[in-house]
Structure 1
Amino acid sequence: MNDTEREVVILNSAWEMINGMVNWAMFVKHDRYDPTNMMFETSVHARLFIILLADFLSEVRAFKGDAIPLGLTAPPSGARASDLTFLFHLRQVGGNPQLGNDARPLAKIVEEFSRWLEGEFVASGVNLGSIGVVADITVSRLRYLKMCGDIAKHNLARLATNVKHLQRLLTAAGHEVSEEDAYLAVEGFFEWFQQDIFIYHSSHIAEFLNNIRWAIFDYLGPEYQRSYHPTGEVSGLELYAYRVPTEIGKPVAHAMYWDLMNRYRSRPWVHRFVVSDIFKSRY
């Protein structure tokens, strides 16, 4: 794929993933523009959100030596932690925009989210009762979110990598534990971090994701105005089409361009909102 086709794939995919996380089925609906917070409809929605978030924060990899899907590029060796997430691809759009002229607002919010994710905090007094350990765990937000997303998604037999991460976190906190004990501690870790710290962070994360979606919307405005044109009317219903850029030749990119323009036409599902600082000051 060329740069324009790749950008279409990135923007459409990001918008679709964010739609799956930040919507009024997942969160209790409100119409507030002043500083607020976001509340999950149920604990099941909270669990689904962190599973989907972990996918968004995972690296898009090639399978068994094949090329990376949809023409996406691989992050460089020694990349920063957030480059091993879908934010890496959005960062490419911000650095080399194709469909629009000004991707600086998109680049700004992607960088803000990346720095927040890469930041570390201390969770004091984490009680892992199953192995008799109480620890002050230092962890990056990105690491604990991916661990919790994996734990929510998989059974213990598929958590070997996260068990190793938990062992290392406990070792750094001054508690050497065996692999077997680390497996026993997984449930306690999940309860402490997902049901407490993640729930606290979830409003801030939703704001970051919603701001990325609105930044994509704003970026695409001039392209939509150029591309959209009415083609007629049937029973009072306006028909329309898009002037697809000539650079877009691949069928999948062509289809995703239409998807992207239709997403713009229907606007983001959730209005712009700001989360109160009280939900941003801890952890």
Structure 2
Amino acid sequence: MDDIAESTMEPFKPIEQEIIVLKAAWGLIYEMVNFEMFTPIKAGAVEVHPTDSVHQRLFNILLIDFLDKPGAETFDLIKPTKSSSDDFISHLSYLQQIADRPMMNTENPDLLRRPVTAFNDWLNTEFTVRDVWLSTIERKTDLTLRRVEYIKICGNIAKHGFSRLSWDVSIMRKILKRNDVAIDRDQAYMALPDFYAWFHDNIFNYHIGQIAAHLNDIRWGIYDYLAPMFAWAYMKQPHPSIPDWYEYRYPPAVTRLLARSMFWDLMNDVRSEPFVPRFHIHPILTQRY
């Protein structure tokens, strides 16, 4: 019966898909950039650190969920087109698609586009680490790779046992081959702990503040993007016993029950400013890698 009921549901409309993507992104960023994950963050140019190594690892795990694609088939999401510099589809790709074809703020989609593009460009930038020593396979080399490549590999190592890392082994072999180091699959599995030690414990710890700043910028971008919709949807209503009773009016095309529920939650999310202030990492802390 459930299958029959689902088969008769109308597909999610474009504005409902937008609501779902924005709600998913907002929720993931909320889980990553907060005052439990990081030491207190102040506005302006700052230095940001995770509270401890456990939260650094958790942040990396949650980040690779953000850098993975949402359940497109479940929510009828239209698959974004890959850019020339991007070989994977992620929540960022869907946010970029919203900025390109906005439904809830057609006047100023750049409020969302700017922080999304900035983070995507940062992730796809190449950098070089000198004298990487993979002791288990006795290889020492300079490695040039994109930031997103090592972040995804390290996040998957943090999340899974080695038996779930075949994709990461394949990517690591490609990275090494681009850097004139040829290894077989067995050697790649052997090198995973060394790769993790070099890049998660060292490079990711250096980058984590910059990543948090980019994510927080996207959260503020979503907040600014949705401000006109919130102003239209929010309605204070008289109530005999609750002085601050309010409701939201729904855009006419938002009819699916799940989409309406997520719209209500999203409007509550942007009812007040994000609790983490706008900040950026001090320039002197962004010059390596």
TM-score between the two structures when normalised by the length of structure 2:
0.91
- The alignment of Structure 1 onto Structure 2 pairs a total of residues equal to 277
Which of the residues 54, 57, 61 maps onto 1:47?
57
1:16 to 2:27 alignment: yes
**Aligned position for 1:207:** 213
> Aligned runs of 1:110-189 on 2, under 5 Å?
110-189=116-195
Looking at structure 1, the residues matched to 156 and 190 of structure 2 have their Cα atoms a distance apart, in angstroms, of: 16
1:100-148 deviations in Å (ceiling 9; x for gaps): 2211121111111111111111111111112211111111111111111
Which of the residues 87, 92, 101 maps onto 2:97?
92
**Aligned position for 2:69:** 59
How much has 1:33 moved relative to structure 2?
Answer: 2.1
SS in 2 for 1:23: coil
1:27-48 deviations in Å (ceiling 9; x for gaps): 0113x22311211011000000
1:33 to 2:43 alignment: yes
Looking at structure 2, the residues matched to 267 and 174 of structure 1 have their Cα atoms a distance apart, in angstroms, of: 49
How much has 1:232 moved relative to structure 2?
Answer: 2.5
Q: Which amino acid aligns with 2:250?
A: V
Which of the residues 4, 7, 23 maps onto 2:15?
4
How much has 1:75 moved relative to structure 2?
Answer: 2.7
Looking at structure 2, the residues matched to 282 and 154 of structure 1 have their Cα atoms a distance apart, in angstroms, of: 29
Worse-matched range after superposition: 241-250 or 263-272: 263-272
Contact persistence 1:61–1:74 (CA under 8 A)? no
How much has 1:269 moved relative to structure 2?
Answer: 2.6
- Which consecutive residues of structure 2, in runs of 5 or more, have no partner in the other structure? 1-11
Looking at structure 1, the residues matched to 113 and 256 of structure 2 have their Cα atoms a distance apart, in angstroms, of: 26
**Aligned position for 2:228:** 222
**Aligned position for 2:283:** 277
The 3 A distance-change label for structure 1 pair 223 and 61 is closer
SS in 1 for 2:250: coil
How much has 1:20 moved relative to structure 2?
Answer: 0.8
Contact persistence 2:82–2:88 (CA under 8 A)? no
1:265 to 2:275 alignment: no
SS in 2 for 1:206: helix
Q: Which amino acid aligns with 1:44?
A: V
The 3 A distance-change label for structure 1 pair 79 and 8 is farther
**Aligned position for 2:4:** none
Looking at structure 2, the residues matched to 78 and 12 of structure 1 have their Cα atoms a distance apart, in angstroms, of: 24
How much has 1:77 moved relative to structure 2?
Answer: 6.4
The 3 A distance-change label for structure 1 pair 110 and 77 is closer
How much has 1:171 moved relative to structure 2?
Answer: 2.3
Looking at structure 1, the residues matched to 279 and 232 of structure 2 have their Cα atoms a distance apart, in angstroms, of: 29
**Aligned position for 1:69:** 74
